[in-house]
Structure 1
């Protein structure tokens, strides 16, 4: 054991599946210090009352838990009767959302269980059907901004797939593929590939590398190489259905096949899609394609002076992105994030009430290494030098059509400038810096608004102005970033709030709910959302008298007749919860529970 391993206050990857690689340890420890310096919320002490899911008597619940302990081993079944400790990114809870937008006790587990393999997941599912206990699977519980590890139904038993199911089952250096379990983080996959000496293969990583490869992909998360659409890059699933059967999708259904990770479709209907962002099954294995080393890369960054430059910039980006001159997910970030990603409290810049004034933001931006700006574009060009030069010359010519546009020389930027984090991520190297803007306020938490639009300047400005107006209305600082895919654009707005302050939580919630409705009226739907907002977002997809919702409910009732698997996930409620007030909407208030569940059994297992 190295001296760093002995003295570290942050778990290392060599010690724990959810730990940090040793090369990022210093960065992680500094991030932890910054977070705890701004924290005023103290963890509770002693025991707290156990939350038992509605529809189950207390004695029967404990009988069920005892039986599950006998099946899995008592050390792998934990009752959640201890104080809720929020921790931080590298030491996160698996019992609740560490960044709650509602009261701490709303979205909380009754117990957490730790299966070791697919067979034990099957046993848990059969147990849940026997006792009608709602279960909620997580991969690693780091879906921060969208609910973390919290279950949608209060008192559900969380199935933590990461702790004991964290094996990289295969890395194929010829096919550029891998097969992983839910507890494999982007950190772990990257470090393993490096240790094997596979320099010809890259992974694609999101902004933070500690999340599960499986979990991020199933929630249709993105990264920043040309392989950034993670769902499009997966190939083959192993799934435990809500009734206990196990299936393999695609070529995995053919015994003895050798193409499960190379050809995702197999024969017949393509079923993988129903297991992404759903509650139709528990994924225990997933294949993923890996990117060939492009033989060179070069990061670049451009600054643009005015908010209204966004419209022209997006119009320039669209043909370059579709034509793959801009090769990776284009990221356009607003100036306020240049300040926030330094990890310092907003009171270092502004101590007044309401949203920070624009002139204050620009005053401080002028003192930064990048200089004053309204937007920064972060990009990467791949390939040998002569190919990169050809593409970068085209990009430079196009971007400079915007008056005042300037390319930032990386040589002028210090080592801790955020540009270098984006450089690593776009080269498939996981990092940790993205966490720092959460320190913008004490007890910093965040929740995301993520609508999708066409890649058009008018749409970008419409969404920007809408977000700015509503953030100003609720006195919240506006953190917009546009991430441009091949033919669509995601606006990612992170609302950062003080989770200790009920008024700040309510403002964040109210602002988000108004944003969702206003965006939907303009034809913009969210691609991903927080647990608290799932019913509202699902309701915006209401074409043809909610035909999609009805279809999802038919699938749910067919695949999960007892309604035990993640009820309410993505706004999909099983029959025994429907019409009982479980939906959380703009007008329902902030109590997450409904009025009981139907008790009748519908199937025998």
Structure 2
């Protein structure tokens, strides 16, 4: 859905820019050249996305308030990102034309780390790399949970229901209090943070009355300017590695063996189960020169070894870790031809001593996956991500993989494919790879994603997050009871932001003036 045309916008931009420079300083309003990155970095003629008319970078909550008030006065919408590096879902690109992008990278302070309480309070510009470095600099015995790439925002990833792989891998579930700027410019602090002279910090996730934190995740009801997050105590030891199988027909056996172990907590954190079809000519290794090799061979070099590789981890006292490992080995012992490949480290291990595949389950931010994609597919590689939630059963996983591989073959593409295991469901992560220098291949990637969304909906599945260009499509699937859920979201939007100033259309949420049909 496009924004309402505003022919006078160009005439007003100079005045708006002057107001923003006065509020933020010249350093807070980016030049056209500096603002170029705040669109979809993988966009081509085949996968177009809107671009903002201006980019601002406030450095404090007071400056965020000023931006919101100026936007209201001039009737121009904002689009907020934290780091803007969520590339597989559109980066910092907005849903609509004619918006000012509000990027929060300059709000990059780690405000509090409490080792005894096991939490941190951060601003939205703090990356996983930066939070990890601050914890190490303070010699605090806490671990963070990290996604596969460590350059993104801790708050931004959490706000998008992002996931990591340690015991606090459900990042949204680790939230304990927020500070939020509403469309009116008013500041709201949630939970116990609303108490004057609050002495509890982020020690509890809820205070008195309804818990509203989730309303500000995957929504456009406010701009998050601070967040409390629970962190994991540094374990005495941890074990990480993989269960590997080399036959696709054994996927159901592996999934069904792991499901009860994730649900009962034997496997700690969130396992990542990666699937890579066997290429003609054989698999390649990460450090191989894959120049001239097929796309599937390049994919095999990018991903962990094996037809299917289930990354698992255990944390804590050595005796408990050893017991968990023994239970897992027994649980998968019936799978023909399986391999269990595990490594054990002290909790305070030097990151340089950790196997690259174990960095993420060790809570160590890194860029290994992106480095491997660039090494084997080249610097122009892009990906359009499709990530449905499916049942944690072998039958559903096999059906999901067959569906994705069928569509990939139809469009002559390869897909970096796998599942993240949650206690009762799997998230099917599908990186539809394409060459951003090839508009036809980019168009095929987008068409493949559209087809997969349609096929998933036929099975009663939906994505847990989505690229900005398909968020409206995904939201439209939640149409039960006469669109009652979407009407509820619009009711909240009209109450909090009737003019639609904050990220209009984000996650399919619109004010009344732009409401879906």
| In 1: Cα distance, 2:406 partner to 2:353 partner | 28
Offset of 1:422 from its aligned partner? Answer: 2.9
SS of the equivalent of 2:254 reads: helix
Cα distance change of structure 1 residues 462 and 166 upon mapping to structure 2, 3 Å threshold: same
| In 2: Cα distance, 1:574 partner to 1:296 partner | 50
Alignment root-mean-square deviation, CA = 2.8
Tell me what 1:156 maps to: 99
Tell me what 2:82 maps to: 139
SS of the equivalent of 2:470 reads: helix
Q: Does 1:435 align with 2:378?
A: no
Offset of 1:382 from its aligned partner? Answer: 1.5
| In 1: Cα distance, 2:170 partner to 2:183 partner | 27
| In 2: Cα distance, 1:577 partner to 1:57 partner | 18
The TM-score, its normalising length taken from structure 2, stands at 0.91
Offset of 1:579 from its aligned partner? Answer: 5.7
Offset of 1:317 from its aligned partner? Answer: 0.7
Q: How many residues align?
A: 504
The TM-score, its normalising length taken from structure 1, stands at 0.78
CA shift digits 1:536-591 (9 cap, x unpaired): 111111111211111111111111111111111101122333469xxxxxxxxxxx
Tell me what 1:488 maps to: 425
| In 2: Cα distance, 1:506 partner to 1:105 partner | 9
Tell me what 1:552 maps to: 489
Tell me what 1:77 maps to: 29
Tell me what 1:288 maps to: 229
Indicate conservation of the 8 Å contact 1:79/1:110, yes or no: no
Tell me what 2:335 maps to: 402
CA shift digits 1:23-64 (9 cap, x unpaired): xxxxxxxxxxxxxxxxxxxxxxxxxxxx99745432222212
| In 2: Cα distance, 1:516 partner to 1:151 partner | 20
| In 2: Cα distance, 1:57 partner to 1:70 partner | 19
Tell me what 1:388 maps to: 321
SS of the equivalent of 1:236 reads: strand
CA shift digits 1:454-490 (9 cap, x unpaired): 2111111111111111111111113211110111111
Tell me what 1:342 maps to: 286
Determine which of 42, 50, 62 is the counterpart of 1:107: 50
Tell me what 1:524 maps to: 461
Q: Which runs of 4+ in 1 moved over 6 A?
A: 337-341, 343-346, 368-371, 416-419
After the TM superposition, which residues 490-505 of structure 1 pair with which residues of structure 2 at under 5 Å, given as runs? 490-505=427-442
Tell me what 1:213 maps to: 154
Tell me what 2:347 maps to: none
Indicate conservation of the 8 Å contact 1:400/1:406, yes or no: no
Cα distance change of structure 1 residues 579 and 208 upon mapping to structure 2, 3 Å threshold: closer
After the TM superposition, which residues 532-547 of structure 1 pair with which residues of structure 2 at under 5 Å, given as runs? 532-547=469-484
Flag structure 1 segments of 5+ consecutive residues without an equivalent: 1-50, 86-92, 581-605
Tell me what 1:21 maps to: none
Cα distance change of structure 1 residues 508 and 54 upon mapping to structure 2, 3 Å threshold: farther
Cα distance change of structure 1 residues 543 and 461 upon mapping to structure 2, 3 Å threshold: same
CA shift digits 1:521-549 (9 cap, x unpaired): 10111000100110111111111121111
Indicate conservation of the 8 Å contact 2:47/2:446, yes or no: no
Determine which of 342, 361, 373 is the counterpart of 1:426: 361
After the TM superposition, which residues 165-564 of structure 1 pair with which residues of structure 2 at under 5 Å, given as runs? 165-198=107-140, 200-335=141-276, 342=286, 348-350=292-294, 356=296, 373-408=306-341, 420-439=355-374, 440-442=376-378, 443-564=380-501
Cα distance change of structure 1 residues 106 and 297 upon mapping to structure 2, 3 Å threshold: closer
Determine which of 577, 598, 601 is the counterpart of 2:514: 577
CA shift digits 1:193-237 (9 cap, x unpaired): 111111x21111111111111101111111111110011111000
Offset of 1:400 from its aligned partner? Answer: 2.0
Determine which of 120, 141, 144 is the counterpart of 2:63: 120
